[in-house]
Amino acid sequence: MSLWSSLPHIPYPPSREGYWSPVTSTLNWCEEDYYATIYSAEIVNTLTNLLFMALGIKGFLSCRRNGHDSIFQVAYCGYLLVGTGSFLFHSTLKYPMQLVDELSMIYTTCLMCYASFSYSRSTGIRIFLGIFLASLAIFITLYYHYLQDPLFHQNAYGILTAIVLIRSMYTMEVTLRPRWRHSTEEDRLVREKQGLPVPTKEHQHYENVRDMKTLKTMWFMVIYGLSVFLGGFAIWGLDNVFCSKIRGWRREVGLPWGILLEGHGWWHVMTGIGAYLYLVWGIWLRHCLNERQEEYHLWWPHFWNFPEILRTSTLGKSENGAAKKSN
């Protein structure tokens, strides 16, 4: 740390009481309280939620503009609620705000679970699934409030997230990979011999190439998003385990460099990006399930951009507009 400590810096102010004192939450993270301002208990953990909030608004407006399924508009509202709840929680360290932060994560994941499992199901199954997930969310809420054990919340959230991811990966494979959806040349010939309607060889080849290209990009998005998400989780875990040592490093390097050592802040940024990528992937996958691949495109020029699913006409207009502007 000697190199960092030699850089120009401002010494860390001491932790103190703040406007929202006393702390009533069952959790208090490694960032020291009220050192920057009396109005925010954990300033870095608070401000990093602005990315969550901005991406939630961006995603919601994109759904409205491009005509994506309404379930994803609701999901982005849930995503925005997670960021807003976390902003309020880390600003105040009050127990009610902690519940808004943590339970909104459960509710949004239950919503995505419904979106993943209810597609193309009968009305009866959809109603049953909705009642089951609503009951599960209520149970988790009441039991967590009774236990007040963060590990219960973290385990519940982790299990729900894993279920949604695995289901979505399965759906992606059976929808797009030719051999799983029986779209190989051998399958075409078998159907032809049986007198069933078949596409032309050229059209089938076109669809297979298109879908394999889509599948490859989707897998990159999944692996990239999951790596970012799990990377944020790992950093947060290290922040919890080595908190006292990290606090010492932060005080040694001072401000603003110590901000880079706020592990929970990195958790917000990285899980926010990972969750946003999942929602974009979910939207794209839904259009593939609806056989509307030709109507929509993924806009993602570089991996550091935040991708969107755009209508083909919208994409064409934006590209033409950009071309006109450059001229």
Binding residues: 29, 31, 42, 90, 264, 268
| DSSP string covering 141-166 | HHHHHHH--HHHHHHHHHHHHHHHHH
Name residue 37's beta-bridge partners. 40
CB 245 within 8 A of CB 261: no
Rounded Cα–Cα distance for residues 137 and 125 (Å): 18
| Residues making up the binding site for Zn(2+) | 90, 264, 268
| Residues making up the binding site for Ca(2+) | 29, 31, 42
Give backbone dihedrals phi and psi of 279, rounded to 5 degrees, phi first.
Answer: -65, -40
Report helix, strand and coil shares of the chain as percent, to nearest 5.
Answer: 70, 5, 25
- Rounded to the nearest 10 degrees, the angle between the axes of helix 201-241 and helix 243-253 is 90
